[in-house]
Amino acid sequence: MWIMKELKKVGIIYKPEATNVLTICEKIEKFFFSKQIVTKVAEINHAICDIDMAIIVGGDGTILKAARFYAPHNIPIFGINVGRLGFLSQLKVDEIESGLEKLINNNYKIDERLMLAFEHSNALNDIVIKNSNSSKTVEFMVYLNDKPVCNYLADGMIISTPTGSTAYTLSAGGPVVEPSLEAIILVPICAHTLNARPLVIPADETIEIRPQDYNENFTTFIDGQIEISGKKNIVIQKSQYKAKIILLNKDNTNEDGFYSVLREKLNWGIDPRT
């Protein structure tokens, strides 16, 4: 487990479009000022790295962007949700002071999350591959470590981390995978066959997607935020970097954080009649 050094300087990184975000940032600044901890405030598009920890004020998209930026710098991130779902966040706005007290009292753990690498980009959630001609399905072969595995006719393919298994992957029929596992999930998008199923593989496998028609090109989407067009063969590997996500310890020690988030955010395991 990665351990954070002494907390001396905190970055407050925010999404400028979020509601009341400057008021929230000011509240966080005042809290750390009262604890004699230096803060630096910056928009997500101008993130700073001369800090010990980054507090991200925004939604899941802001946290994904921050994770890609901070992973190579070994800086842990902590999310405060001002978006909708807030699956990757730890606190709601009305929980800021109590949550930050836990933070400075070292009442937390740091999860190291698997990331994926494609070209010069890293993904915390997923890499989505589609035909560059978005109106057409595409036939492609999936190779693992240069060995052919499966031929698909589909709208595309989702290559997901365990962290991303509760995002687009879940909507496309993929499994929920506990985020500490070293695994990668492959899910075809709207496959034109009944025998195409999601596949969970070891994280060290090298994945290559090749179109069967040489005239076809792929467009890839990194965490739904970075678009790379005009690629023929897509090679995806486990990233050398890991996102370091701060998780507060639960007051109720009998409750597992990940599964409680599934119940709270996705109504997982809840009787639909209630």
Active-site positions read 60
- Which residue, among 233, 209, 215, 220, has the nearest Cα to 148 in the 3D structure? 209
Q: How far is CA 20 from CA 32, 44, 57, 77, 254, in A?
A: 19, 16, 10, 21, 35
Amino acid sitting at position 34: S
- DSSP 8-state class, residue 45: G
Q: How far is CA 208 from CA 166, 200, 224, 231, in A?
A: 23, 15, 20, 12
Exposure string for 144-178, b = 16+ CB within 10 A, e = fewer: beeeebbebebbbbbbbbbbbbbbbbbebebbbbe
CA distance 144 to 128: 17
Q: In 10 A of CB 233, how many CB atoms?
A: 12
CA distance 177 to 162: 5
Instruction: Report helix, strand or coil for 147.
Output: strand
